[in-house]
Homo-oligomer: A and B are copies of this chain.
Amino acid sequence: MIRANENYSKLKSSYLFADIAKRVNEHQKKNPEAIIIRMGIGDVTMALAPAVIKGFHEGVDEMAGDATFRGYGPEQGYAFLREKIAKNDFQDQGADISADEIFISDGAKCDTGNFQELFAQDIKVALPDPVYPAYLDTNVMAGRTGRYEDGRYSGIFYMDCLKENQFFPELPDEKVDLIYLCSPNNPTGSTMTKNELALWVSYARENRALILFDAAYESFIRDNELPRTIYEIEGAKEVAVEFRSFSKTAGFTGTRCGFTVVPKECMIFNTKGEKISLHALWNRRHSTKFNGVSYPVQKAAEAVYSKEGKVQIRQQIDYYLNNADIISKTIASLGFDYVGGKNSPYIWIDGADRDSWDFFDLLLTKAGVVCTPGAGFGRCGQNYIRISAFNSLENVTLAMERLKKALT
């Protein structure tokens, strides 16, 4: 009898976006004239930059001629892209990462989800709360948790990120083995300083733990004091993997390309405590279960690092950051506490004692604005909402005018 992986049955059904859609539809039905502004989902809205489009078309053109056609490429990605990433995103930042430590993939969601496969089933996993749901769900599917009760899975070490600790995950008071960190953070928009990251790198080195560092929103960092990669921290190469994405950097949410950095020094252990190369393990996984990213997509990603590409990409991020600034100022003027909105496209707003779904309903019904209720990201999000800056300036301006009217 073919039996199921019963860990899937532990998964809490993901009703978040379905629930949001239901409430939005009901509101629209009652108010057919209402023009609803969606600031919930973290999806880019601007077209791909001209330099990227040019690179993309050129890649397609190469596929049109027998002499320039590309069949199977290297599963790890083409050297032309890996080398540009290594230089621009790491070496130029003072982080000594080489091209063969970079694995091109179809996105950070896939990589952050798949990476846990490399580890034993009974390791202790530490996750921030609130959290990007894919980190948690993929560990549930792998059988690393017990049942879901009272908003949490047993077996997981949750790191509360609240106002009291500036939304910074504190070092655990027990031993953990695998630590998920995300900065600039989704959903809170908070950022970790070099000192904060260094604490975690020290913890990992002392406890033979591993950090999975999600830096998908790195391109939003404008504060030069903030680290742009975990490898700016001394010793991080031995204990950290970094996930990056072109999704938010260059509007690739529908184009699909990202990458993961696995330094060759990074070692994990077998039950005897002997060292195992994490780079070799991920390479085996990547070449067995993945077959490389579409060649024209890799050409499009390469164009992000061209002279024109860099200028155009920066203008796009500036545009979203200006939106974030407008949102933050409005929220502040209305008397709400918030975090994010700087070095990040997200604004995480404290509803004071309001339940996040009540707050969601208030914005929807009074202002026709859709946000994401914080409860969807974990128990610590219960009294928060997330607003995303990915939108047109016109929509953001209109939405903020409506919020001012509705909430004063």
Contact = CB atoms under 8 A, between A and B. Distances in A.
A71 B45 contact: yes
Contacts of A255: 63, 294-296
A208 B73 contact: no
A291 B2 contact: no
Interface stretch (A156-164, A269-277, A351-359, A379-387): A269-277
Contact of A254 (B1, B72, B141, B268): B72
B70 A3 contact: no
Contact of A285 (B117, B122, B141): B141
Contacts of A339: none
Contacts of A53: 60-61, 63-64
A407 interface: no
A6 to B, nearest CB: 6
A14 to B, nearest CB: 8
Interface string A63-100: 11110111111000000000000000000000000000
Interface stretch (A107-115, A189-197, A228-236, A360-368): A107-115
Given A110-B291, A296-B255, A2 B208 contact: yes
Given A1-B273, A292-B254, A43 B71 contact: yes
Contact of A256 (B48, B118, B292): B292
Interface string A256-273: 100000000000111101
Given A3-B268, A53-B64, A120-B6, A295 B72 contact: no
B63 A1 contact: no
Given A3-B268, A5-B119, A53-B64, A256 B291 contact: yes
Contacts of A65: 47
Nearest to A275: B4
A178 interface: yes
Contact of A106 (B141, B268, B271, B291): B291
A289 B71 contact: no
Interface string A98-135: 00000000110110011001111111000000000010
Contacts of A314: none
A118 B270 contact: no
Contacts of A106: 106, 290-291, 293-294
Interface string A206-219: 01111000000000
A243 interface: no
A269 B3 contact: yes
A347 to B, nearest CB: 19
A297 interface: yes
A8 B289 contact: no
A3 B271 contact: yes
A253 B123 contact: no
Given A8-B118, A288-B141, A2 B63 contact: no
A330 interface: no
B47 A119 contact: no
A56 interface: yes
A28 interface: no
Interface of A: 1-6, 8-9, 11, 41, 43-48, 50, 53, 56-57, 60-61, 63-66, 68-73, 106-107, 109-110, 113-114, 117-123, 134, 137-138, 141, 177-178, 207-210, 251, 253-256, 268-271, 273, 276, 281, 284-285, 288-297, 392
- The list of the 5 closest CB pairs from A to B, nearest first, reads A113-B289, A43-B71, A3-B120, A70-B254, A2-B210
9 contacts: A2-B177, A2-B269, A5-B117, A5-B120, A45-B69, A71-B254, A72-B253, A254-B295, A256-B294
